[in-house]
Amino acid sequence: MKRRNFINTSTAGIAALTLSGVTAKPKTFSKKIQEQASGTIVHTVFFWLKEGLTEEEIQNFTEFFEELREVPTVQSLHYGKPAPTTAREVVDNSFSYNLIVTFANMEDINVYETHPFHLKAIEKYSHLWTKVKVSDTILM
């Protein structure tokens, strides 16, 4: 049993390091991640699409996110649909799509907010949504 736990723990650690491209010891890895994350801005946006959109319109909506990826200050950009997690009072899976963008600092998100690519994408796709909620976090 001890051997199985050791193998599972070791395999998970090696996988995490391999995926990150880091070959240092776990302690160094954790510290490095913390240093990189400090001051990072995480821009989270929830979208509720209009009822009655065609499958093609819904699929084409993801092009909105790809256009945002072109803003030069974007550090990373990920998007997706609600996960089928267990229904609980604190979980809101009513949104259609979620966007998570990271920026190195406040200056970079300020550039993003007024960048022509961002504004053009909003103008092009905003007719598809009924509601948008934004949450910005500065990592410590």
Based on the domain organization, do 13 and 70 belong to the same domain? no
CB count, 10 Å around CB of 84? 7
pLDDT confidence tier of residue 38, bands split at 50, 70 and 90: confident
Identify the bridge partners of residue 90 per DSSP, sorted by sequence position: none
Kindly tell me the sign of the dihedral angle through the C-alpha atoms of 16, 21, 26, 29.
negative
Based on the domain organization, do 11 and 69 belong to the same domain? no
Based on the domain organization, do 86 and 69 belong to the same domain? yes
pTM for the model stands at: 0.73
Kindly tell me the sign of the dihedral angle through the C-alpha atoms of 98, 104, 106, 111.
negative
Question: For position 11, what pLDDT does the model report?
Answer: 43
pLDDT digits (tens, 9 = 90+) for 116-127: 999 999 999 999
Q: At what angle do helices 26-37 and 2-20 cross, to 10 degrees?
A: 40
Based on the domain organization, do 23 and 81 belong to the same domain? no
Residue in 107, 1, 99, 123 with CA at minimum distance from that of residue 47:
99
Q: Output the domain CATH number for residue 96.
A: 3.30.70.100
The phi, psi pair for 110, rounded to 5°, reads -65, -40
Based on the domain organization, do 65 and 105 belong to the same domain? yes
Which burial class, exposed, middle or buried, applies to 115 when counting CB atoms under 10 A from its CB (0-12, 13-18, 19+)?
Answer: middle
Look up residue 32 and give its two tokens.
């490095």
Dist CA 57 CA 9 (whole Å): 44
The helix/strand/coil state of 17 is helix
Q: Which domain holds residue 6?
A: 2-35
Based on the domain organization, do 30 and 52 belong to the same domain? no
pLDDT digits (tens, 9 = 90+) for 41-95: 999 999 999 999 999 999 999 999 999 999 999 999 999 999 999 999 999 999 9
Number of compact structural domains in the chain: 2
Query: Could you tell me where the beta strands, DSSP code E, fall in 51-127?
Result: 76-80, 97-103
Based on the domain organization, do 109 and 54 belong to the same domain? yes
Based on the domain organization, do 16 and 79 belong to the same domain? no
Q: Which of 21-30, 106-115, 121-130, 131-140 has the lowest mean pLDDT?
A: 21-30
